[in-house]
Amino acid sequence: MLVTQDTTGIVLSNTIFLLARAPEVWSRLREEVAGIGPVEDWRSPDLKNLKLLHNCIKESLRIHPLFHANGRVATTDTTLPTGGGPDGTAPIFIPTGTRVSTNFYTLYRDEAVFGQDINSFNPDRWNYISPSSWEFMPFSHGPRSCAGRHKALGETSYIIARMAVQFERIQSRDDRPWTENVKIGGEEWKWLSCSGAPRIMGNSMPSARFYERKFFYIALSNLMCIRI
């Protein structure tokens, strides 16, 4: 089972990293979030209906997968329907004890499934693509998929939506590219500046600057007085 305490922070950090470089998407996201009314009236179904928000999260998970690869060991002789032959369309025999790995970076860059501009952050691609559960499985798939996936996605959705309410714009002031730090999952470290005079504990604050990192969502929740 793919389990790690860092998943929410990593998904959130990577999504904000990409949104900070896509101001047009951020503006549209703010408009979408504004359409569900005041924060105090939000309910879980409201967040689930934010299509652009979820497209952004899925696109982030596609570009920067939480888990780079996954493996299984065949416990019995198995024959897969495709994967063999010169063009990969013939059946392939997997003997008992064989380790089979899936590389998610490669899987999520299949233009036949995800379309063109495969290395670009384009949340709108999810309006016209429909990958199967085995073609896009950011939390794995099947009986041993991540048990906390709904919690991670729910927390990520809520915090990004709250940021969209609080901040008119987010901007990275660090031009260095995304840099992977491989542990159990991938994480990224960046400075991020937010502006838009968020109100914190009754006082206006012109800007906020914090470090994008695993667990930074905890600091952000304290900063913005979010209950998660």
The binding site for heme consists of 146
Cα–Cα nearest to 9, from 224, 218, 225: 218
Output the six-digit token pair for 39. 């924060």
Positions at the binding site: 146
CB 217 within 8 A of CB 9: yes
What's at 136, amino acid-wise?
F
Cα–Cα nearest to 168, from 193, 190, 191, 194: 194
CB 53 within 8 A of CB 154: no
Could you give phi then psi for residue 147, rounded to 5 degrees? -70, -20
Distance, CA of 22 to CA of 16 (rounded, Å)? 10
DSSP state of 224: T
DSSP secondary structure of 97-160: T-EEEEEHHHHTT-HHHH-SSTTS--GGGGGT----TTT--BTB-STTS-TTHHHHHHHHHHHH
